[in-house]
Structure 1
Amino acid sequence: MGEVIGLLKVTVVQGKRLVVRDFKSSDPYVIVKLGNQTLKTKVINSCLNPVWNEEFTFSVTEPVGVLNLEVFDRDRFKSDDKMGRAHLNIQPIASAARLRRVLHVSDGETMIRKVVPANDNCLVRESSVNCVDGDIVQDVWLRLCEVESGEIELKIKWVDHPSVARPQAPLV
């Protein structure tokens, strides 16, 4: 595993139109993976449009990987049911962070790049990577694969690792 180049703060905001896996509803939770790091949201009982608003922090190393999500329905007496999966290439946000350092963008809001739905992501619609007051952020809606319906909203924020942060004036 390579050197840490930054942190990725991922907020799992909400799900929409998730599939029914129990009698009339589901008890969904999301597993989020980046490399060998795995984190899990809380379970929202009996809900097909859950709101989690849970933030997770992942270390990002070179080569920059893919953020993977799996949604499950929690069951008490049998194994949990799959409710879909999605993935997002995080190279665009990592590249935007490098570009921000080169261009010294820090004030206001600047769109750095657009990301369109493609084979290397599960985007529902075009998304933009923005620099907002020095922070690199991206809001995305991901379509769940291998399932009849369902989308997950994420808010992603890049945090530079101290070793790659902008140089500061030396102390005297």
Structure 2
Amino acid sequence: MSMTILVPKQQKLKTRHVKNDCNPEWNDELTLAIYDLNDPINLTVYDKDTFTSDDLMGEAQIDIKPYVECLKARLSDLPDGTVVDKILPSRENSIADVSQIIWMDGKLVQDMILRLKNTATGEVEIQIEWVDVAKS
């Protein structure tokens, strides 16, 4: 299986392919340029077929707006593991379980379990982190 992440402005990133695994672990780091916080970030999971088209295994949208709102607070020097915000699952998001925005190693990260749509069952665990390229 592989995962594709698509954002507007023609950015399309793919994870590596994990063979013969119904519960693949990618542990890949993908970096996206975000131009408009209102544009959805679409995640799609496919199985890899050799002789036919890859099969869609499910889709989800990543909503970064709550995370960005926490970034705007310009927090600093919090103890590691401090929960800054919690996002609850709802019909309006793809979140399958409570998502926490956490202060870790001097930065904010958000862990999410996303419920895949257009499939009978399936979830994907991801973590997002903002990288400010103006400062790097």
TM-score, structure 1 as length reference: 0.71
How far 1:94 moved relative to its partner? 1.0
How far 1:132 moved relative to its partner? 2.1
How far 1:70 moved relative to its partner? 0.5
The 5 Å alignment of 1:23-172 reads 28-35=1-8, 36-99=10-73, 101=74, 104-109=75-80, 110-162=82-134
Code of the aligned partner of 1:67: I
- For 2:129 and 2:85, the matched residues in 1 are separated by 14
TM-score, structure 2 as length reference: 0.88
How far 1:120 moved relative to its partner? 3.4
Larger Rg: 1
- For 1:63 and 1:93, the matched residues in 2 are separated by 11
- For 2:60 and 2:114, the matched residues in 1 are separated by 6
Number of residue equivalences? 134
- For 2:45 and 2:88, the matched residues in 1 are separated by 23
Aligned CA-pair RMSD: 1.8
- For 1:86 and 1:62, the matched residues in 2 are separated by 18
8 Å Cα contact 2:85-2:100 kept in structure 1: yes
- Are residues 153 and 144 of structure 1, via their aligned partners in 2, closer, same or farther at CA, if it must alter by over 3 Å? same
8 Å Cα contact 2:86-2:100 kept in structure 1: yes
How far 1:73 moved relative to its partner? 1.0
1:168 match? none
How far 1:142 moved relative to its partner? 0.7
8 Å Cα contact 2:37-2:64 kept in structure 1: no
More strand by share: 1
- For 2:48 and 2:41, the matched residues in 1 are separated by 22
Which 4+ stretches in 1 moved above 3 angstroms?
none
Among the aligned pairs, what percent are the same residue?
34
8 Å Cα contact 1:88-1:120 kept in structure 2: no
8 Å Cα contact 2:103-2:109 kept in structure 1: yes
Code of the aligned partner of 2:119: V
Code of the aligned partner of 2:122: G
